[in-house]
Amino acid sequence: MARLTLEKWSEIRAQFEVGASARELSSIYGVSHTAINKKAEKEGWTRNIEPAIRRKVSEKVSGYVSTDNLQKRAEAIDAEAERRAAVIERHRNEWPEVRGMVERGREAHKTAQGLENKRIAFEDLKAAKIASETLKIIQDGERRAWGLDQIVDVTKLTDEQLAAIAKGKMPA
């Protein structure tokens, strides 16, 4: 029996996951049904449609079909690291403006003369508080969406998960 390419194995997996039997696939691709079943078990192929759909969506979104190409894996990791670093840098750059609002509001409140000026300074402080809370909510959501606070051992990720990371998605 000939050794199958990764692309052929990908075809076999797709057909297996939508219901083709290992015996049917064996006769089509010239590989033993035992080899197909072993690979299916080892890689977690499933006939449960949801994981298969998630894998296919990940491939379509990323444009990266799973392979054992180490160069592609390295490129996917590097691309994701660049995107995440850009998010972190943007988050850092967003805070000085809010900090300035708080400091200006505190100083204005401390030095304000008269009830009306104190009220205006207090409103400025409230606006600063709202701005800081809003920014925190947005950044917390982005950190979750980008997986910035989640420690991921990339050596244990599948190609599909790496591809998802390369496109800015959290692996399933």
- Per-residue pLDDT tens for 23-47? 999 999 999 999 999 999 888 887 7
* pLDDT at res. 10: 86
pTM for the whole structure: 0.50
Rounded distance, CA 124 to CA 130, Å?
10
State the pLDDT at residue 82.
Answer: 85
Compute the mean pLDDT over every residue in the chain, rounded to the nearest whole number.
83
Residue 126: band (very low, low, confident or very high) from pLDDT cuts 50, 70, 90: very high
pLDDT above 90: residue 101: yes
Question: What's the rounded mean pLDDT across residues 105-116?
Answer: 93
Give Cα 92 to chain centroid, integer Å: 20
What does the pLDDT average to over 111-117? 93
Q: Name residue, tokens 């392979």.
A: 67
